[in-house]
């Protein structure tokens, strides 16, 4: 039982009694490899993943269980630039250690399109997923806010349809 609390560029870990966990970064507080994280989740193996946006590019950071940058991307961070403004908002790990990331990109006309990305455990785009590791869906000015798997293993993405302010859900095959 540990509690993670963070903001755009740092992360703190507390014990269940509310004190900083000194086994995490030596003081309980670590700086993230890149600023712009909006969501942080612990993975089953102990690593920690953060997702967000940095300078209009999708951002993923990975720390090991003690708060050090993991062997992931460059110094624990991956910036993804698909040519537009992109932001990631959620992540889930599949049974093979790949990361499924949901978010959005903004088109030049201001339309929000759902962005779905799959990275390998080391931070590389998984080329067999979508179109070279990612897919963009322009359903209804949609952004991907939550990602999970259904009982058959397909990817479910929940979001918000920005043109009608309604909720959206999409289902994707794993490849």
Residue 62 has a pLDDT of 95
Q: What percent of the chain is predicted at pLDDT more than 70?
A: 96
Low-confidence ranges of the chain (pLDDT < 70): 139-141, 162-165
What's the pLDDT at 170?
83
pLDDT at residue number 139: 63
For residue 78, give every residue at least 6 positions away whose Cβ sits within 8 Å of its Cβ, in sequence order, or none: 59, 60, 61, 72, 119, 123
Which residues contact residue 92 at a Cβ distance below 8 angstroms, ignoring those fewer than 6 apart? 99, 100, 147, 148, 149
Kindly report the pTM of this predicted structure.
Answer: 0.90
Q: Helical H runs in the chain?
A: none
Q: What integer pLDDT is reported at residue 76 of this predicted model?
A: 93
Helix (H, G, I), strand (E, B) or coil at 151: coil
Please check whether residue 157 is in contact with residue 116, taking contact to mean a CB–CB distance below 8 angstroms. yes
State the Cα–Cα distance between residues 102 and 23, nearest whole angstrom.
31
3-state secondary structure 9-23: CEEEEEECCCCECCC
């Amino acid at each position: 039982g540990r509690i993670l609390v963070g903001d755009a560029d740092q992360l703190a870990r507390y014990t269940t009694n509310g004190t900083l966990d000194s086994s995490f970064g030596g003081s309980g507080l670590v700086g993230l490899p890149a600023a712009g994280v909006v969501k942080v989740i612990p993975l089953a193996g102990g690593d920690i993943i953060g997702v967000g946006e940095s300078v209009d590019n999708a951002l993923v950071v990975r720390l090991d269980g003690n708060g050090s940058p993991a062997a992931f991307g460059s110094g624990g961070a991956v910036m993804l630039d698909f040519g537009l403004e992109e932001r990631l908002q959620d992540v889930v790990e599949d049974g093979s250690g790949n990361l499924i990331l949901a978010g959005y990109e903004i088109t030049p006309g201001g339309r929000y399109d759902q962005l779905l990305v799959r990275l390998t455990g080391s931070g590389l785009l998984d080329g067999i997923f979508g179109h070279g590791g990612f897919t963009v869906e322009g359903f209804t000015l949609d952004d991907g806010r939550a990602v999970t798997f259904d009982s058959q293993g397909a990817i479910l993405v929940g979001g918000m349809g920005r043109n009608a302010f309604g909720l959206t859900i999409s289902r994707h095959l794993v490849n």
